[in-house]
Amino acid sequence: MSRLAMLIDESICMGCRGCQVACKQWNDLPGEETVQQGSYENPPDLSPTTWTRVKFTELIQGDSLQWLFLTLGCFHCGDPACVEVCPTGALKQDPLLGIVTLERELCNGCGYCTQFCPFGIPRLDTDLLSGEGKASKCNFCQDRVTNGLSPACVKTCPAGAFKFGERDELLVKAHARVEQLKQAGFPDANLYGENEMGGLGRLYVLKERPSVYGLPENPQYPVMANLWQDVVQPLGTVAFVAAALAMLGFYFVARRNIEMEEVE
């Protein structure tokens, strides 16, 4: 099998939130008590127990209103910064399928993934003082897809907005759909995720610019993650070894040259 992806056609999504519910059901996540925010959007944010969420955007153009839906969850980046900064190996990228998974038993709750994800996806359930806790996020239903099933959100979508399969094939379909939308009167229609962050495993067909949906137009791999892992870490190793070896060398030189009797 080659790299997997899901393609979400947001021009088809009707905002029913079936994916949200299916995600909770399959992953055994409890519901949350929330308060009315003045929108159909609910819950208001991703959380340790909400890994998939439909974001509602009300776009007013002249005297018409467009209701935009966006199913948020882990983007399964081709170059996942979270995997690079995770000190435990709990976050992994499947070398074959390309999906980014989080093994909760290995997580120690440091929360670095939450601070290096350019999309702000992983959520930390932690005690502020002791730091005890776990991170959580969408696993692309690893248990389902490795057994030949589609992810729960894909399976449940009644509108058929989700497609799931090999990434290359989905990209071809997505480009065709974008062309179709452009001709149907959506000049800003676009495909999100083809090249961003090494290519995303969550692809969107959007009617409007990504920023209208609240997506970063040009998400960047955090430079600090590179500096940290590729520069400071090896530098630290070299510096410690060099310092220790130098001192060992000095010790032998000093021993040879210093007459202890003279000192005493």
Partner 1 sequence: MIGNKVSRVEQAGQAGVVRIKWIPKYSAMERVFHWGHTVTYFALALTGMILFFPFLQPIAQGESGWLIRLTHRAAAIAYGAFPLIYVILEPRRAWMSLKSVFKVSRYDIDWVKGMVPYYMFGRHDAMAPQDRFNTGEKLNAAVIILGSVVFAVTGLIMWFGKGILPIGVFQTMVLLHDIAMIVTVCMFIVHFYLAVLHPLMWAGLVSMRFGVTSAAYAQEHHALWYYGPEKARETYEAQKAEQAAGQES
Residues near partner 1 (CB under 8 A): 87-90, 105-112, 114-116, 120, 124, 128-132, 222, 224-225, 227-228, 232-233, 235-237, 239-240, 243-244, 247, 250-251, 253-255, 257-260, 262-263
- The span from the CA of 3 to the CA of 165, in Å, is 8
Nearer to ligand HEM, 110 or 153 (CB): 110
Residue 113: CB minimum distance to ligand HEM, A: 12
Q: How far is the CB of 58 from partner 1 (least distance, A)?
A: 27
For residue 116, the minimal CB distance to partner 1 (Å) is: 7
- Partner in contact with 31, chosen from ligand HEM, partner 1, none, beta carbon below 5 to 8 Å by kind: none
Cα–Cα separations (whole angstroms), residue 3 to 64, 71, 136, 137, 171: 40, 21, 22, 20, 12
Comparing CB distances to ligand HEM, the nearer of 220 and 233 is 233
CB of 249 to partner 1, least distance (A): 10
Task: Please enumerate, as own/partner, the contacts of 216-224 that have beta carbons within 8 Å and a separation of 24 or more.
Answer: 216/118, 216/119, 219/118, 219/119, 220/118, 221/79, 221/81, 221/118, 221/197, 222/81, 222/116, 222/118, 224/116
Q: How many CA atoms lie within 13 A of 180 on its CB side?
A: 11
CB of 236 to ligand HEM, least distance (A): 8
Partner interacting with residue 68 (select from partner 1, ligand HEM, none; CB below 5-8 Å by kind): none
Shortest distance (Å) from residue 260 CB to partner 1: 6
Site of interaction with ligand HEM (CB under 6 A): 87, 110, 131
Here the tokens at position 43 are 């819950």
Nearer CB in complex with partner 1: 137/177: 137
The option from partner 1, ligand HEM, none interacting with 224 (CB < 5 to 8 A, set by class) reads partner 1
Element of type H or E holding 242: helix 233-257
User: What's the DSSP call for residue 2?
Assistant: -
Query: Are the C-beta atoms of 140 and 74 separated by less than 8 Å?
Result: yes
Q: Which does 243 bind (CB under 5 to 8 A by kind): partner 1, ligand HEM, none?
A: partner 1
Residue 172 binding result from partner 1, ligand HEM, none, given CB thresholds of 5 to 8 Å by partner type: none
State which amino acid sits at residue 228: W
CA gap 252, 264 in Å, rounded: 19
